[in-house]
């Protein structure tokens, strides 16, 4: 598959786009009357914690949590190191937006399983890979190159976070 053409976190468009997203989200939330509530109680707060356990407040994050513990990075990176933008402003927005969306989806159950990382989620991931592995990736990755001229780290390393995908936890022979 071609490298996904989504906006890289941190850019101006990104902030604008997500500022709107957040506004919109809260708008709908207010309308539905659940947003604020669930966001606060169910999980929203946990988004501001670096503790992986915060993520498994939601049982549906369980497979990824389990996978993460078995995968190569559990000693070196926690969830937010990979899944949230590094620099503060976008991080704050992403947290609010994700936290809101996840809480809302979680409460209404309006999400498709298996859960798949979304294009924007992938862009965040890619940026984080490059952040930690800047030196190593120097010759093969060019941060300012347009997406179609980039090579996705996940193309080869999709398993670094959670091992072999088994998003619904189907037992493969490796974990009988």
Residues that bind other proteins in the complex, under the rule CB under 8 A: 1-3, 59-60, 112-114, 116, 135-140, 142, 144-146, 148-151, 155-159, 163-174, 176
Residues interacting with ligand HEC, by CB under 6 A?
42-43, 46-47, 52, 54-55, 57-58, 60-61, 64-65, 68, 72-73, 76-83, 101-103, 105-106, 111, 115-118, 121, 125, 128-130, 132-133, 136-137, 139-141, 151, 153-158, 160-162, 165, 167, 170, 172
**Of the two residues 93 and 153, which places its CB atom closer to other proteins in the complex?**
153
Distance CA 66, CA 21 (A): 30
CB of 31 to ligand HEC, least distance (A): 19
Smallest separation, CB 99 to ligand HEC (Å): 7
What is the helix, strand, coil percentage profile of the chain, to 5? 60, 0, 40
Q: Using an 8 Å Cβ cutoff, are 74 and 67 in contact?
A: no
Tell me how far apart the alpha carbons of residues 121 and 83 are, in angstroms, rounded to a whole number: 7
Buried-state track 145-169, b at ≥16 Cβ within 10 A, e below 16: eeeeebebbbeeebebbbbebbeee
Decide whether 12 or 149 has the Cβ nearer to other proteins. 149
Q: Which residue has the tokens 């490059």?
A: 130
Minimum Å gap between C-beta 91 and other proteins is 26
User: Are 90 and 18 a contacting pair, CB within 8 Å?
Assistant: yes
Select from other proteins, ligand HEC, none the partner in contact with residue 146, using the beta carbon and a kind-dependent cut-off of 5 to 8 Å.
other proteins
**Closest approach of ligand HEC to the CB of residue 110, in Å:** 8
Query: Which CA distances in Å does 77 have to 24, 69, 114, 136?
Result: 32, 10, 23, 17
């Amino acid at each position: 598959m071609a490298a996904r053409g989504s906006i890289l976190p941190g850019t101006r468009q990104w902030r604008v786009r997500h500022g709107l997203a957040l506004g919109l989200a809260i708008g709908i939330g207010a309308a539905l009357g659940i947003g604020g509530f669930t966001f606060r109680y169910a999980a929203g707060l946990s988004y501001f914690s670096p503790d992986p356990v915060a993520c498994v407040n939601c049982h549906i994050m369980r497979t990824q949590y389990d996978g993460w513990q078995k995968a190569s990075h559990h000693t070196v990176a926690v969830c937010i190191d990979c899944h949230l933008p590094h620099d503060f402003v976008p991080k704050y927005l992403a947290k609010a937006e994700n936290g809101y969306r996840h809480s809302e989806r979680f409460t209404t159950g309006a999400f498709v399983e298996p859960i798949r990382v979304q294009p924007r989620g992938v862009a965040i991931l890619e940026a984080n890979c490059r952040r930690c592995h800047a030196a190593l990736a120097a010759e093969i990755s060019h941060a300012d190159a347009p997406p179609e001229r980039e090579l996705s780290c996940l193309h080869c390393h999709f398993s670094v976070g959670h091992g072999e995908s088994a998003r619904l936890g189907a037992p493969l022979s490796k974990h009988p």
